Amino acid sequence: NTGLGTRVLQAGGNAPSNTNNVIQFFTLSTLGNAQDFGDLLDNGRSSRGAASSRTRGLFANFDEANAIQFVTIASLGNAIDFGDTTYTGRYKCGLSSQTRALFLGGRVNPATYKDDICFVTTASTGNAVDFGNLEAGNPYMASLASSTRGVVAGGYRAPGALTNIIQYVTISSTGNSTDFGDLLNPTFGAQGASNSTRGLVSGGQEASPVGQSNTIQFITISSTGNAIDFGDSTNKVHIAGGAASPTRAAFFGGYTGLGSPNATNEINFVEIATTGDAQDFGDLTLSPFYSCGISNG
């Protein structure tokens, strides 16, 4: 975890309770275990939206709060208050360009599904501004982005109703999302990661009897169309984390749903430009699910 390689941060999640505020990091160009980075401002799970530039990482909205906090990725230390999102909701996602971060979707209990999209300028601090709306209320989505286009995939469209829909927005503009294509199967809680051209969606949970999946699939972000099979992850998980450099994607943590413990600390990786199965990278310091990840890559 030294040198100038892409740094990945994992933050929060259940590990194993809902009182985890740990941020940890690893260097993606190497292999090895994660190390402690610092702490979030709050304890909690529920799939924060996460987004980043090359210098700054943002984490939004644990549970049904609306707070955004940030860290400087190249340093070590605790998170700092950034501002507030325009809406509350858990199980949201985040994506970003180098200048703008978007937070999308989510759910408010008991089962109100949010179609909101809001954005902030990453280099500043302050409250978010309304961006537009998703095609429908949608929590538990996988998210990824190029420098111009943000993509979200899967999740729920109604209680108990999984979706395979992929949709996209142009990050530098404002407006509603547009249909992109479909995942291989309806899936919620999958992990997204990307470089500037190719987006990967790993794992997630499909309908019974499949349950947790180890399928990795990919799209070409600048086009539209359906996802294509990439290979398999080293484990079957959902509500995990993902992040990438220009060449390599990592997926980490997650809920296995099997016995006790029912979560993993495993990190696995793939080379984005190829296709094939993932390989073991190392381990996180904890075994978080409802996790989120960012990178400065």
Residue 20 amino acid letter: N
Note the pLDDT tens digit of each residue in 135-176: 999 999 999 999 999 999 999 998 889 999 999 999 999 999
The values of phi and psi at residue 237, to 5°, are: -145, 160
pLDDT at 62: 67
- Rounded to the nearest 10°, the torsion over CA 35, 37, 91, 249 is -50
What is the full per-residue pLDDT of the chain (297 aa) written as tens digits?
A: 766 799 999 998 888 777 788 999 999 999 999 999 999 998 766 678 999 999 999 999 766 678 999 999 999 999 999 999 999 988 999 999 999 999 999 998 888 999 999 999 999 999 999 999 999 999 999 999 999 999 999 999 988 899 999 999 999 999 999 999 999 999 999 999 999 999 999 999 999 888 999 999 999 999 999 999 999 999 999 999 999 999 999 999 999 987 667 899 999 999 999 999 999 999 999 999 998 999 999
pLDDT at 64: 67
Burial (CB < 10 A; 0-12, 13-18, 19+), residue 83, is middle
Strands 107-108 and 129-133: unpaired
CA gap 97, 104 in Å, rounded: 14
240 Cβ contact list (under 8 Å, min separation 6): 189, 191, 202, 203, 251, 252, 253, 254, 255, 289, 291
pLDDT at 44: 67
CA gap 235, 267 in Å, rounded: 10
Note the pLDDT tens digit of each residue in 32-51: 999 999 999 987 666 789 99
21 Cβ contact list (under 8 Å, min separation 6): 12, 39, 40, 41, 42, 43, 44
Please state whether the peptide bond connecting residue 288 to the residue before it is cis, i.e. omega within 30 degrees of 0.
Answer: no
Q: What is the pTM of this model?
A: 0.96
Q: What is the share, in percent, of the chain residues with pLDDT greater than 90?
A: 84
